[in-house]
């Protein structure tokens, strides 16, 4: 097996033992990027020289007797709405096409402190608004399992990069499912931590009360390792929670006997593909076989989640995106006066989905409509959060499908925004409630991965990971690699030299 297809834990063990060097891992990563990027297009920017330089510094430090850091020498891909000093951060939008930030996001600082090496910035739906990675202003990303299909969104580039072996792990952001849904589509692990668990400092805001950074990895152990590095209070983020950070790997016992697992009936109704339902049902049966106490429950206000989200998120986006006016940074349209410049800048810089959501949000916040729309959506959000609180009085975790369907074809839903929005119907309630949830692969439908979502109490990522790890230890779905990656492994194709 290629170095590109090993887990972070396996690579760390080999690096620590001196069997391989960080420079070898970096070169293998860049060769894989060269080989598959023409097909996958996961990256907006590949930082090849930086990756090699960071890896060589780690090797030099090791030769001088320094211990290997927890993520030392591991290539990471970062979604292009998370800033990294000196590297273009575009949010996959023309309005920020040439923006180079002068500082690092907190998560970038923490990954560097843990020894991770930056491989590049990944493609996404523009300003994280989308569920397919087709809304990028530059190009769509393709699913490594089937290049005719989408990788999910909005963190589709990060998910595709990990699935295709272009990075050992990645970071994404999750506002309504944007880590978990692409993780499900690409057959990897993706976690949205509790709101406030990971600093948002340096994350370009979409919807500030919903956005959360999290990891995309090859297995649950890697997810726990990355969470160890990025979680923790940050005084630069007013929404960062001063909660203690445990060692998340301690929860990976493989034991779920006595764990109370709830199955919300609202997540298994109309619109869920029968084969997705079957794969998730088989996963639930496995939990029962492993000794968990499984029972059905109800989250009665789930039906209002989609509508509430598509009022709250656009309303916050309309406020957050007002800063892109052509005055201080980013794209500026040529015009004879300020008002015309402002209008043309936003018209030229924003794509159709971003403009749609800005208009929806501005309308929902406008005088005369605030109470009817935004206020009512906020009230529905409270009811959804209470549903979860009541469920967690009986259960330790809840399990659902991550997505109602597997990866759909490129262009299949592009002309139907409502159909696209429905792709996140299973993930949105978790963001509205601010809870932690992970997606893990639980089966395949016609060669495409199916995702299982495990939801936990606020700041109880440990129990979520415990359940996910136990499932993973009794299945092999996480070990399977997409055909594209397997073809590259057998051909040996790809030499570094054409990356940007």
Residues annotated as catalytic are: 79, 154, 178
Please name which of 92, 115, 120, 97 lies closest in space to residue 33, comparing C-alpha atoms: 120
Instruction: Give residues with Cβ within 8 angstroms of 423, minimum separation 6.
Output: 131, 132, 152, 177, 181, 403, 404, 405, 408, 413
The DSSP output letter for 437 is E
Please, are residues 472 and 255 in contact by the beta-carbon 8 Å criterion?
Answer: no
What letter would DSSP give residue 432?
H
Q: Which two tokens stand for residue 449?
A: 């991965």
Q: Are 178 and 500 in contact (CB under 8 A)?
A: no
Residues 423, 403: contact at Cβ < 8 Å? yes
Alpha-carbon distance of 165 to 169, in angstroms, equals 9
Round to the nearest angstrom and report the end-to-end CA distance of the chain.
Answer: 26
Residue 379 CA to residue 341 CA, distance in Å, equals: 38
Residue 403 CB-half CA count within 13 A = 36
Using DSSP bridges, classify how beta strands 117-122 and 397-401 pair: parallel, antiparallel or unpaired. Answer: unpaired
């Amino acid at each position: 097996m290629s170095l590109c297809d090993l887990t972070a834990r396996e690579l760390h063990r080999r690096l620590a033992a001196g069997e391989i060097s960080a420079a070898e891992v970096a070169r293998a990563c860049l060769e894989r990027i060269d080989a598959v990027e023409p097909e996958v297009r996961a990256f907006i920017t590949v930082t090849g020289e930086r990756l090699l330089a960071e890896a060589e510094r780690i090797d030099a430090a090791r030769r001088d007797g320094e211990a290997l850091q927890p993520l030392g020498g591991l290539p990471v891909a970062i979604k292009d709405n998370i800033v990294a000093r000196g590297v273009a951060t575009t949010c996959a939008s023309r309005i920020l096409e040439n923006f180079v930030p002068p500082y690092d996001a907190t998560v970038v600082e923490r990954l560097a402190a843990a020894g991770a090496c930056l491989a590049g910035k990944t493609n996404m739906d523009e300003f994280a608004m989308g569920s397919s990675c087709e809304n990028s202003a530059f190009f769509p990303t393709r699913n490594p399992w089937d290049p005719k299909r989408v990788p999910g969104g909005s963190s589709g580039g990060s998910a595709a990069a990990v699935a295709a072996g272009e990075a050992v792990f990645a970071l994404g952001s999750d506002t309504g499912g944007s880590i978990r849904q692409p993780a499900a589509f690409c057959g990897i692990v993706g976690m949205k931590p509790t709101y406030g668990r990971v600093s948002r400092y340096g994350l370009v805001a979409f919807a500030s009360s919903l956005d959360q950074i999290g990891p995309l990895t090859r297995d649950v152990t890697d997810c726990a390792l990355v969470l160890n590095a990025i979680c923790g209070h940050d005084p630069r983020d007013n929404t960062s929670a001063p909660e203690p950070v445990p060692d998340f790997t301690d929860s990976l016992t493989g034991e779920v006997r006595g764990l109370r697992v709830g199955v919300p009936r609202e997540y298994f109704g109309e619109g869920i593909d029968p084969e997705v339902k079957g794969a998730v049902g088989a996963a639930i049966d496995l939990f029962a076989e492993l000794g968990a106490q499984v029972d059905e429950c109800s989250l009665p206000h789930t039906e209002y989640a989609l509508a509430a989200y598509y009022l709250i998120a656009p309303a916050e986006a309309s406020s957050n995106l007002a800063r892109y006016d052509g005055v201080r940074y980013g794209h500026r349209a040529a015009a004879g006066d300020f008002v015309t410049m402002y209008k043309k800048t936003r018209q030229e810089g924003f794509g159709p989905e971003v403009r749609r959501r800005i208009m929806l949000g501005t309308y929902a916040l406008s005088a005369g409509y605030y109470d009817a729309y935004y206020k009512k959506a906020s009230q529905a959000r409270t009811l959804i959060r209470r549903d979860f609180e009541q469920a967690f009085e009986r259960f330790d975790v809840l399990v659902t499908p991550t997505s109602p369907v597997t990866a759909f074809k490129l262009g299949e839903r592009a002309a139907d925004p409502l159909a696209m929005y429905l792709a996140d119907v299973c993930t949105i309630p978790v963001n509205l409630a601010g809870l932690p949830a992970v997606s893990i692969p639980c089966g395949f439908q016609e060669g495409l991965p199916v995702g299982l979502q495990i939801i936990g109490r606020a700041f109880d990522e440990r129990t979520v990971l415990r359940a996910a790890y136990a499932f993973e230890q009794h299945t092999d779905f996480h070990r399977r690699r997409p055909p594209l990656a397997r073809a590259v492994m057998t051909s040996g194709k790809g030499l570094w030299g054409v990356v940007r």
